[in-house]
Chain A
Amino acid sequence: MASRSAQRAGDVAWARTPKVNGELFALTYGAMVKRLVEDYTEIDEVNEQLEKMGYNIGIRLVDEFLAKAGLPPCQGFQETAEVIAKVAFRMFLGVAADVTSWNSEATAFSLLLADNPLAEFVELPRQYKTLCYSNVLCGVVRGALEMVSEEMRSLGLG
């Protein structure tokens, strides 16, 4: 099943990638989000900024992924989704995501992160319930896909 080989590729890629302390990563990200929340009055603007930052990361990250994961080009959008979830997320975040909720035309899907390394130690106070805390990830995926010429929109989630 394509999913299993993607999983294996993800594990191999993850083993090869240099690692950084997970807590440092989570806390740095958290500090950045907190700073954004202080700087912008509207939570929607914070979400937008996070997405934009993610986009700028994604356009560069995709080349690293293509160079290092060594996978052949995807044969269709379904395979693209699997590769993003099982290989790319695993390679860069250490955790694979799950691909779910395909729409009927197979043009939209959801990525589910059971274990979000960005959100470790995080509790969102009630007034920030519209904040998409991990919106940077949506931007990364959008930027990455755009560079391999797939235009997309993401309806980000926290």
Chain B
Amino acid sequence: RAPAGGGAQTPVMGLQHLFIINRSGGLMYHQDLTQNAPNISENDWLLLAGTFHGLHTIASQVAPLASSGIQTVEGDSISLCCFQTQTGIKFVSTATAGTAGLDGFLHQVYQKYTDYVLKNPFYDMDQPIHCELFTRSILQLIPTFTGSRR
């Protein structure tokens, strides 16, 4: 979803949303990474995740060369980066157009996921993530993000 055009909003560079999709296309986690991020309803989040999962799978199958699916989507007002682990989890991040370094950011999120979600004994695999330490660690990652305009 692109933010509504222009207006009085000053364009903010950088991260907007993070979402994590499980192996069956269900949404495990979503997080606004900035206060200026476009507002998305809970239901829309679920739809977004499921749709993206489907598109990702189709893309990897129709690709003329061997492909592992959608990695980046570039638009006039949005940059999207997707990193799929070998275990089938997708880490997806959106940002304002031209933001670089999203792939590195997602790799860091993956490490936080292994440390704060997988090691949490009360977390069941592939379920929605409600781990406070994980959320906190993601929010701590944001100020260290050095994405720049390409």
Q: Which residues of A pack against B, CB within 8 Å? A: 59-64, 66-68, 73, 147-148
- State the Cβ distance, B90 to closest chain A Cβ, in Å: 13
**Residues of chain B with a CB closer than 8 A to A61's CB:** 118
- State the Cβ distance, B134 to closest chain A Cβ, in Å: 13
A64 touches B115 (CB 8 A): yes
A61 vs B107: C-alpha distance when bound (angstroms):
16
Q: Secondary structure at chain B's binding surface: helix, strand, loop or mixed? A: loop
A157 vs B107: C-alpha distance when bound (angstroms):
36
A61 vs B115: C-alpha distance when bound (angstroms):
10
**Residues of chain A with a CB closer than 8 A to B107's CB:** 67
B119 touches A60 (CB 8 A): yes
Say which one of B11-19, B30-38, B81-89 lies at the interface with A: B81-89
A68 vs B111: C-alpha distance when bound (angstroms):
7
B71 at the interface (CB under 8 A from A): no
B105 at the interface (CB under 8 A from A): no
B52 at the interface (CB under 8 A from A): no
A67 vs B88: C-alpha distance when bound (angstroms):
13
A60 vs B99: C-alpha distance when bound (angstroms):
32
- State the Cβ distance, B137 to closest chain A Cβ, in Å: 13
Given contacts A59-B125, A60-B118, A60-B119, contact A66 B86 (CB under 8 A): yes
- State the Cβ distance, B10 to closest chain A Cβ, in Å: 35
- State the Cβ distance, B71 to closest chain A Cβ, in Å: 15
A63 touches B119 (CB 8 A): no
A66 vs B89: C-alpha distance when bound (angstroms):
12
A102 vs B113: C-alpha distance when bound (angstroms):
35
B87 touches A66 (CB 8 A): yes
- State the Cβ distance, B127 to closest chain A Cβ, in Å: 13
**Per-position contact with A for B76-104: 1 when CB-CB < 8 Å, else 0?**
00000000011111000000000000000
B114 at the interface (CB under 8 A from A): yes
B114 touches A67 (CB 8 A): yes
A63 vs B85: C-alpha distance when bound (angstroms):
8
B113 touches A148 (CB 8 A): no
A66 touches B85 (CB 8 A): yes
A63 vs B118: C-alpha distance when bound (angstroms):
8
- State the Cβ distance, A24 to closest chain B Cβ, in Å: 17
User: What 4 pairs across the A-B complex have the smallest Cβ distances?
Assistant: A64-B114, A60-B118, A147-B87, A67-B110
The CB with the most chain B CB atoms within 10 A, among A60, A61, A63, is that of: A63
A88 vs B78: C-alpha distance when bound (angstroms):
38
A66 vs B119: C-alpha distance when bound (angstroms):
15
**Residues of chain A with a CB closer than 8 A to B86's CB:** 66, 73, 148
